[in-house]
Homo-oligomer: A and B are copies of this chain.
């Protein structure tokens, strides 16, 4: 378990070497690391919980420098031993017996994982590990060697926050204020301006659902906000309006997922959104049979940035190109009505034709298309805020979740690298084809290679 040493030592210098004056931060980090080593070396569990409690308390007492040092120790001293790994791999290669496999698994799993499992045994352990990962992610930006610690923690968290362990709860005005307060703080898409604003979003023509984990009963992991409306909406302001009339959910035709927010930085990369949207859609369909359409009203965050680059590169001589380039270059410009059609076309093209690493280039598109949604409509002027114009010329789009089609759509998207879009969107995309005439219009997917 002293592997990975050389590379890290190169980065750290001779951390902890004798003769070097150590700081208080180092000492505290070292102390915790020693405790953790004891924690995982105990064959029995006699003192497990007590030691775990101590470890958690020590960790929580670390200041930023001590924490940095501690993360380095986790990377350096709790990785698999190179020699043992090689020996076990050779043995398994020679004879893939259960014993050899067990040995391999034992030596190949970094001791960090057991560290984290043991820390989780303390009261508040799970919350502490999420906190640890949040700091780790920040620290890892400048310290790539920490990605291996993060890799192990993510592996564990993904296993622990398995969908089978999550609880879907409806959030309403009867929910404890301590939880509502967190929704207000976390909301990432359309800011919630205090409790009265939130209250409007919890009236009977709105819904809010969140996933919780039993070990964090007061902490929403992700939540989605839904509005019941008559028609698939083409702008967001009416949904957010505080003074709007409260409608009757039993008469609504359309459920709009107008906001979805991941709450825990410590769970970045552990994905629940797909499960949440589908579960909510299924539940609502069962409760309110009048609902016929489940759709989003979503931003297109990468549109203008892409358009700027792509239009500059374009060899097209179309006069339109110049106008669009001028608009794309100015993040504060108000999109003129006469450019509505080409801008909608650009959005359609961008979302259906532009890929990156086997996925749709746009982050939001990637999420919904990957979930099996269909790109349904481009909405001109849907988000008239400066941010909306800077991101996407004020355009938004609707993705539709047709529960009977999501698997097939997903299949198309994943395996054939084809975006399922409405005929209208397809038509829009075609209108801007001349602008990109030299460009291969479709990716040439070799699925095996991209996987």
A residues with a Cβ closer than 8 A to B are 1-7, 42-50, 79-80, 82-83, 85-86, 88-90, 92-93, 95-98, 101-102, 104-105, 108-110, 117, 120-123, 125-126, 144-145, 147-148, 151-152, 155-156, 158-160, 162-165, 167, 173-178, 180-181, 194-195, 199, 214-215, 218, 271, 274-275, 278-279, 370-372, 403-411, 413-414, 451
Contacts and interface: CB of A to CB of B under 8 A. Distances in A.
A197 to B, nearest CB: 11
26 contacts: A4-B407, A43-B414, A43-B451, A44-B414, A46-B371, A46-B406, A49-B279, A79-B96, A80-B104, A82-B92, A86-B89, A89-B89, A89-B90, A101-B148, A101-B151, A105-B155, A117-B162, A120-B162, A122-B164, A126-B164, A165-B215, A167-B214, A174-B178, A177-B177, A177-B195, A214-B214
Given A48-B275, A176-B176, A275-B45, A97 B7 contact: yes
Given A145-B98, A275-B49, A408 B7 contact: yes
Copies in the complex: 4
A407 B451 contact: no
A148 B102 contact: yes
Given A6-B408, A44-B274, A117-B159, 5 more contacts: A4-B407, A7-B97, A89-B108, A117-B162, A174-B178
B79 A85 contact: no
B86 A93 contact: yes
A6 B117 CA distance: 35
B214 A407 contact: no
